[in-house]
Structure 1
Amino acid sequence: MLDSLPEVWNIETLVQLGLLGLAATLALLGSFSITRWPQLNYSPFISPQVTEVYQQVVKPYDGLLRLVISLFIADLLLLLISHNGELRLIEIPLGLTVAITGSWLGNRLFKQFFDVYLLDAAIKSGRQLNSELLILSKFIANSLIVVIAIIVFAQTHQINILGLVASLGIGGLAVAFAAQKTLEQLLGGIVIYLDRPFVADDYIGLPDGTFGRVESIGLRSTKIRTSGKGTLVVVPNSSLTQVSIENFTGAKKVMALIYLNFYQPISSEDRAFIKQVIMESSTDIFGIDTQSTEVSFRDLVGKNELVKTQAQIIFFILGSGEVSMDLRRQLLYMASQNITQKLEEYGIKFHIEEPTIYVDSPITI
């Protein structure tokens, strides 16, 4: 019977068509995975810890994860049958889509794991927390996910990425020797754009006495309008990356107000103990000005003339950017949870008034 089939419809062709149909089916199922796939319950076979991690980290992106898996299997099947020909025109865009979507999903999953578990573990470790180091670790992990996706895509499509990088490196060396000073200034501009020690309209001071407003940041130089004289100073970016820069605008100080409402009057001894717990809970958070932390108590008369005590806590959060400030707010929130846990262990009942109030506090120049 197989001998009666046309030559073009041989066994290999039929297998390829079957795999192509399976790939199309998986891609179609993946496109409807967010709402159509059944919710499977593996709890009898998985430990509670793994189940909790799944619920906290993976569950919010469950539909997207299934979509990526379906598209990945479909792309893998296409790779097996699309050695050449028109199927390559379908497989390459699909593979690129899988790489981009997969890396984005990986970044989202890591962010969820970072926010839910790593920050809490850092708080409970009892060591001083450097929020800038946490941000750097987060950036490195996200970059590593993207690099892995690029390498996997290149290797599966016979792209010699290592050879490409090496050839670019040899050509780059020749250009570097020819324009060393210019490249040094250009790299300085890139460093300033990435590190962002200042932005346009910031007031900065340099070690040579230059003080003024940043008018523009170019690839080779930065223009500063000096205060008083009003002259324009052009500074090479390579010089700015090697000196200490005092940024008067970028410094931020936010006052966080937290209210603890106790269910009964608090004695002076308990007030001293509560203040000690609060101060110790915020000492290890880098970016909290612990010397400016204030704790005050007052008695409130409620219904039926019942006297209750309220504690007002003022934290001062120092930061240099929105990402840093947001992360330190998260750390402060976890510190407040530790305060709650420690006080409840000693039988002190209260609740934290929501929400926490944040007020911008100017820094005196």
Structure 2
Amino acid sequence: MDQEILQYVVELMARLGLFALVLVVSPFAGRFLPYLVQQVFRLLERCGAFENHAVVYRQTVKPFQTSLSLIGTFSFIALCLNLLTRYEDLYNFVGIFVYSALSISLGWFASRVSQKIIHRSVLSLVHRWFGEVSEVVLIFETLIYVVIVLLGLVIFAIGLKLNLVALGTSIGIGGAAIAFAAQQTLGRLFGTLELYLDRPYIAGEYIRVNFNPYAEDVYGRVEAIGLRSTKIRIVAQNTMMIVPNSTMASKNIENVSRGKKIMAMLCLDFPKPLREDEKALVTQTVEQESKFFWGFDKANTRIQYSTEAINTRARVFFFITSPSENSLELRKRLLDLVNRAIAQKLVTHDLRFAVPEPTIYIDSPMSL
């Protein structure tokens, strides 16, 4: 019996001594990880992945060399911690410190890398998509940090050989309870995400939206889009309306600022002075022929006459509105068809005319 105890103590001392040696050697082993990454870059350079591996290493890995060394150090210690697996209590006690340090070093490295990626790439991408850098970056960055913390907890649990199924079940139950309690808040966050992805409006634009079917539409200028709500400055009242983003995401929104409007002017020169009945006939013909084409009606058509001693000039104004450039080009083509139809109809009434110049298009501001 004494021999077994002596053998147990000797083996324990040997393993502890070997583990102590590992602790001494681990900083040197940790420095091997950046060197290994550099060798991988050199191999990729030989394969033609990039031209100069030293420049790529200096720009991408060099700022995180200290973090990589710490990860290599604690990974080496965690690997050699298996020397103490026979002594469960000792293994769990030492493992708490080792895997805590490993999880923290991995989380620190991942957070620094993600922060650099966000500041270099994501900010420019958000600025190009949304026109300004706003709270959507904070949402994205917070989600990344939450994922990093969860991965650190998983690594810690795996190192200590904890039951991940039971841990996941408890986290799932707690998460479901939190989600149920914060259902309204989560709905607003998802509404904010939908607004940022769909972009029905941005700050500075004028919109028209109806919140009550029995009341008039709300018309105003978007002052700001926050994480929780949208602020709208109501026109003519100069009051601020704060609407939850989840409500805005579920409404039909008319974006007035994005509408395009041009004025098309067509000149018709008649070789004789027109009588009042002939002017009325020209007006009636223009209105009748234009209403058969989509987007040209009586409300968007104006006619002016200037009569001289030997001739009469009729100026026909068409106001064309469109939400996009492509649709605007389609309206211009339809306007050519309208002009041809008007010319053919007037010829049948023996009202001949000449077009001294092509149709003139003038940008006209939208009525706000």
What is the TM-score when the length of structure 2 is the normalising length?
0.42
Structure ID, larger Rg: 2
